[in-house]
A and B are shown apart, each in its own frame.
Chain A
């Protein structure tokens, strides 16, 4: 297994290089950072040329890429073009916020999704099954931004009509820089979490149900029953363990993708998260911030893909990567 992991990592490195390289070139041609810099009010005219040189904007993007790589590893991703502030602390701050609400919603979604999936499968065709499968279908068909907006509108309405603020509809805390684990924060995160929760829940419960049904009808479950094992044990020991395997893969992949920042949710709710930060960088064509985001996202996708495979190999003895 270890050799497999090492091999995968080694193989991912060139892919990552290539991906970031292609992205870098694209991004550099998307706008003209030089002219943007010249227009930047924060930069005094006298230092513009200096700055252009410092930020390597005077060389071709192909060369610039390697300067950038250097900054990634040695200088914490360098400095933002717009604000000229170091990127690294911004990234860690926003990533922290994103992680907070992603982890909460994913954990909840998994637990609920698995439970509902199991029950739906055991009680197939029941009212429970039909209603939750419908919810699952809906969740799959709903655009995240729309769900987020609906929630926002609903709770704003409640506030406006009844003057009760149950959940906040924007921002991370009532006052910026508030504590991370406070009731206030939770009230602010509730709606974003709910949004992600519903969508992820639909995914997990649907998969779990299907996986359970698949396993329940398999031969080895019949063998277990033929041995006289009680139905409860059959479900818990034979069905559940096998049915869980694909879910872990799905969950890992989903989480890896979410690391790229739940962009839409963060935008709608104005959360100071990783995705939101990227959108702002995008709007100002700040290539270094954008590239920092892209790099992290790509790494996250690769890492979580690897995690998904490892978990799969761990849980299913048939798969042995050697």
Chain B
């Protein structure tokens, strides 16, 4: 197994708000290996975005605070880099695609100039022509038709899907080794979603960048990712290969997620949501964060926070981890998707 390109250990991020301290990320550790696509799945408030925003120093630090943890990228700790060095990494070796394409581009600058900025920030000596040519090349790569003309247009002249393609182009233009996509398709229509995902796959094939795909949509995970991390209330509750997780999940939350999806191939009368409501990140209950809503919950769950450990019966090559005291009780439990082959 090659060395991980990104290795996060015990990351803790909190936010000071009027109502109290929000524990957005509460001791998260994971590795990303070169070339792989890892999905991070969770509800709103699970900490999935914050953990990656912290990497690039994009969390506003007055309300936010990185309490502890390390994030080794190549051989630098991103959380401890000086501003100048961090800037050299951003948009260059680590790039990010954001959720809302409608507001993520500066409305008064042309698309071309914003893409060019991505290049010129890191390669200031490049000639303008060369930069423009590269930008057009990138636009073509992501499937923007009529790239030459589009170069001089403004963001509002692009549709949502096109804008997201521009964002993708902006992210990959300096051939980053790590790409973070924060819910890139959430704000788009389903059909456009499919197109954008297609573009992302193409881009991945070209650049071989490692990708972190943050989403709340299990369908996207199934389609795009090799591995998946499931997050809840600032903790990782389960992680493993996509196939394994879908076929035999070992955490009550994951099972709940799977079961709450409607299955298109069968007639269902009722959907099964997870009982209870999302947790308050300010007053987290002691013990396991999920226990108030968990069908397996017992006394131990109320008292001890379960560590993320290898589950029983995991295959030799996959590291299937779960943060549940009673994960072995879930062996053999089927979900709606257990029968299906995951592509």
Contacts and interface: CB of A to CB of B under 8 A. Distances in A.
Bound together: yes
Contact of A227 (B107, B108, B170): B170
A228 B91 CA distance: 5
Contacts of B108: 241-242, 245, 315-317
B88 interface: yes
Nearest to B107: A318
B140 interface: no
Given A222-B58, A238-B106, A317-B156, 4 more contacts: A220-B107, A228-B88, A228-B92, A317-B154
B334 interface: no
10 contacts: A218-B103, A219-B98, A220-B105, A220-B107, A223-B104, A226-B91, A228-B88, A229-B87, A229-B117, A231-B83
Interface size of B as a range: 20 to 34
A219 B107 contact: no
A224 B170 CA distance: 10
B56 interface: yes
Contact of A223 (B88, B105, B121, B154): B105
A230 interface: yes
A228 B107 contact: no
Contacts of A225: 58, 90
Interface residues of A, number: 22
A26 B26 CA distance: 72
Contacts of B167: 223
Interface string A282-322: 00000000000000000000000000000000011110000
A217 to B, nearest CB: 8
A296 to B, nearest CB: 35
Given A222-B98, A317-B154, A228 B58 contact: no
A245 B103 CA distance: 17
A220 B104 contact: yes
A222 B90 CA distance: 11
CB-CB nearest 10 A-B residue pairs: A227-B91, A228-B91, A228-B90, A219-B103, A220-B106, A317-B154, A228-B87, A219-B104, A226-B96, A318-B156
A237 B118 CA distance: 13
